[in-house]
Amino acid sequence: MNLIFIPIVLPIIAALALLLMCEKTKYLKELLAIGTSAVALLAAANIFLLPVQAVSYAWLGTGITFTLRADNLSAFLLLAVSLFSLAISVYSFSNPNKGPAKWFFFNLLMTQGFAAGAALADNLLAMLFFWEGLLVFLYTFIALSQTTYAAKRTAMKAFLINGVTDLCLLAGITITAYIAGTMSMSEIAQNKLTLDYGWSMFAYVLLLIGAVSKAGAFPFHTWIPDAATDSSAAFMAYVPAAIDKLLGIYFLARASIYLFTLNGTMQLVLMTLGAVTILVAVMMAFVQKDYKRLLSYHAVSQTGYMILGIGTLNPIGIAGGLFHMINHATYKSCLFMTAGSVERQTGSSDLSKLGGLWSAMPVTVLCFVIAAAAISGIAPLNGFFSKELVYKGTLDTGYTIFFLAAELGSFLTLASFLKLGHAVFFGERPENLKETKEAPFSMLLPMLTLAGICVAFGFGARLPTNWFISPALAGMNIPHPLLSGFHPDKLYFVSVIVILAAVANHMIGLAIGGGKPSKSSDHIHYAPVLKETYAMAERRVFDLYEVLMDRAVPAVSLALFKADRFFDWAIDAAPSRLSGFFGGTSRRFHNGSYPLYMALTLACAAVYILLAGGLK
């Protein structure tokens, strides 16, 4: 058996085996999941280091094959997926907030297997098969993580948003495959498609919708903040923070660089989408009062940087986008893990109820500080380097406005993490948290590992760029840019200014908020105009899903229902009334009067003769 099957098949088999296990067994399920992810990670590392043969089977009739191919980008993605699966399995070993262990690990392993399949598939239909298959587990993941009705509703929201955009992806793939004449991505890439005519433009836009929705970009992101409150931290650290981002940005890069040659208009569309996502989500993140919800908005906002990077269409920007993808998964997963361990140890994720935990949870604080510094783009951590690449790529396109938007996003990111860190770990510790202890080792280990990666990829940024990013770009036939190295150039000084501005902003916020860190965003939250906007956002006026489900769907379906009732009338009530009318009319003539019958007969004969004669 080819090694390429192991990362896909093994987790799925293990997940099915889990279903057979009794819920009461202790640690067996956890150990099985950890063991499976570890083996899958080893297999993935093997595939990454020693390229394996592509495999291909006849699948759907004779025309469509099932092809798995591990090129540089796919192998890199597979490695990342496997790494995060292992990290989350270990992290969830003794985390009671994840819902029933059996179902948690079932969903986790299934998600891992399907995500690995989506990463490795070369055939577009095979990719769609795995990609859309994730929907089921997304739903069960959220629905089973808590017993509340809110969890079920959020699960439905996540399912529907992703289901609809997956259908767009399906339609996009059918058209792409038809235009290209093949379903194999590597074959399409030999002869890239252009956006010269309507159908290919339509196909690309559909693919784009599928990709950015999976990545959680504006306006398809709205289930993520809801899931932050209605599901577990482990789920958030795994799916929206890691797996979805990896797959979404992976396919965005594939579609935008590998399958299609984009034009200037589409470049502008992508960059605008990226900038809008950065700003809208970070504005929302800044004013959040819940640990996980705040992080979830950042998970959306950071997607904007990746889309912006890839949207630049120049090698440096694309490299930055891909590098940011892996960096973001690392620190955001780590941040959600810190949220999970704080929640486990204190029982709360509400910022106003937390504080001063640094002495009680020193390791968690350390991880948080590293990851928060990384997401805020502070040198020399990994986030700094990938953001610099994105900025450089953006400036190279000549659209300075996007650069400014991205820097503004950085400013707000840092400001909100100052607020978050200050509120949770520093300041005064509430009375009821005096007894708080550090999280167990099984939770600290993956956190430390990911924080370590943040540091390693920062100080040694040459390592990931040379090992992962450059080969991936080379695999997509993109000229090799100079990526690594720390340059104290203008961009570096801009980042220092952004840091100073964010610190100043935090000071102002604290002064206005009466020294309470959880209120340090109020000066912006309740500023004129913004106050009303935020209030509308709280009422979900800008949530596309809620607006559509509340307004458009009922109205449209009612109109269609009326149409259905009209057809029902046309085949039911109308014919019976018509026949009733003729029946009633003809009954009046059946009164037994012989002269009337004779008169009718003669009249009809006359009409017939006239008509017959007239027709001749």
Partner 1 sequence: MDLPVKMLTMAVAVPVFGAFLVPFAARISTPVRNALAVLLGLFTFLAAASLFTTVLGGQTSTWMLSFPRGFDLILHADLLSVFMASVSAFVSLIILIYSLDYISHYEGQTEYYAMVVLFLGSMMGLVFSANLLWMYVFWEMTGFCSWRLVGFFRSDKDVAKANKTILVTVFGALCMLVGIIMVYFHYGTLDLRALHGQPISLLAAAFILAGILSKSATLPFSTWLPDAGVAPSTVTSLLHAAVLVKIGVYAYARIFGVTFAAPDAFSNAVLYIAGASALVSAGAALIETDIKRIIAYSTVSQIAFIFLGLASGNKTAFVGALLYILMHSIAKGGLFLCAGIIEQNTHTKDITRMGGLFASMPLTGVAFALCSLSVMGIPPFGGFFSKYLVFSGAAQNGNLVVLLMFLAGAVMTLLYLVRLFYKIFLGEPAGHDCPKEGSYTMVASVLALAVIGLALGFLIYYPSAYAELLTNTLGVNLQ
Decide whether 202 or 492 has the Cβ nearer to partner 1.
202
Is the bond preceding residue 219 a cis peptide, omega within 30 degrees? yes
Two tokens, residue 574: 């109308």
According to the binding rule CB under 8 A, does residue 115 interact with partner 1? no
- Applying the rule CB under 8 A, the residues between 191 and 210 that interact with partner 1 are 199, 202
According to the binding rule CB under 8 A, does residue 574 interact with partner 1? no
Decide whether 110 or 322 has the Cβ nearer to partner 1.
110
Burial class (CB in 10 A: 0-12, 13-18, 19+), 437: exposed
Nearest approach in angstroms of CB 247 to partner 1 is: 15
What are the residue ranges of helices labelled H in 146-263? 149-180, 185-190, 198-215, 223-230, 233-238, 244-253
DSSP at 526: T
Nearest approach in angstroms of CB 163 to partner 1 is: 5
Q: Considering only residues 45, 160, 268, 276, which one is a binding residue for partner 1 as defined by CB under 8 A? A: 160
Q: CA 99, CA 143: separation in Å to the nearest integer?
A: 10
Whether the Cβ atoms of residue 366 and residue 447 lie closer than 8 Å to each other:
no
Q: CA 147, CA 163: separation in Å to the nearest integer?
A: 23
Nearest approach in angstroms of CB 561 to partner 1 is: 4
According to the binding rule CB under 8 A, does residue 557 interact with partner 1? yes
Q: Which amino acid is at 186?
A: S
Decide whether 129 or 426 has the Cβ nearer to partner 1.
129
Query: Which sign does the torsion angle of CA 264, 266, 269, 275 carry?
Result: negative
Residues 498-537 as x/- pattern, contact with partner 1 by CB under 8 A: ----------------------------------------
319 Cβ neighbours under 8 A, 6+ residues apart: 309, 389, 393, 465, 469, 470, 473, 481, 483
Calculate the alpha carbon distances from 418 to 375, 427, 509 in Å.
12, 12, 11
Residues 39-58 as x/- pattern, contact with partner 1 by CB under 8 A: -------------------x
Nearest approach in angstroms of CB 566 to partner 1 is: 9
Nearest approach in angstroms of CB 576 to partner 1 is: 9
Nearest approach in angstroms of CB 132 to partner 1 is: 5
Burial class (CB in 10 A: 0-12, 13-18, 19+), 264: exposed
Number of residues that bind partner 1 (CB under 8 A): 48
Q: Which stretch binds partner 1 (CB under 8 A): 261-269, 341-349, 528-536, 565-573?
A: 565-573
Q: Considering only residues 529, 571, 612, 615, which one is a binding residue for partner 1 as defined by CB under 8 A? A: 571
Backbone angles phi, psi at 261, to 5 degrees: -105, 115
Nearest approach in angstroms of CB 117 to partner 1 is: 10
DSSP secondary structure string, 22-46? -TT-SSHHHHHHHHHHHHHHHHHHH
Residues 68-107 as x/- pattern, contact with partner 1 by CB under 8 A: ----------------------------------------
Backbone angles phi, psi at 133, to 5 degrees: -60, -25
Decide whether 169 or 257 has the Cβ nearer to partner 1.
169
- Helices 101-120 and 124-145 pack at an angle, to 10 degrees, of 160
- Helices 72-91 and 315-346 pack at an angle, to 10 degrees, of 10
According to the binding rule CB under 8 A, does residue 132 interact with partner 1? yes
Q: Considering only residues 60, 527, 609, 611, which one is a binding residue for partner 1 as defined by CB under 8 A? A: 60
Q: Which stretch binds partner 1 (CB under 8 A): 150-158, 385-393, 406-414, 427-435?
A: 150-158
Q: Which stretch binds partner 1 (CB under 8 A): 74-82, 164-172, 264-272, 516-524?
A: 164-172
Q: Which stretch binds partner 1 (CB under 8 A): 36-44, 135-143, 426-434, 533-541?
A: 135-143
**Number of neighbours of residue 606 by Cβ within 10 angstroms:** 10
Give the footprint of partner 1 on this chain (CB under 8 A): 58-63, 125, 128-130, 132-133, 135-136, 143, 149, 152-153, 156, 159-160, 163-164, 167-168, 170-171, 174-175, 177-178, 199, 202, 553-554, 556-561, 563-564, 567-568, 570-572
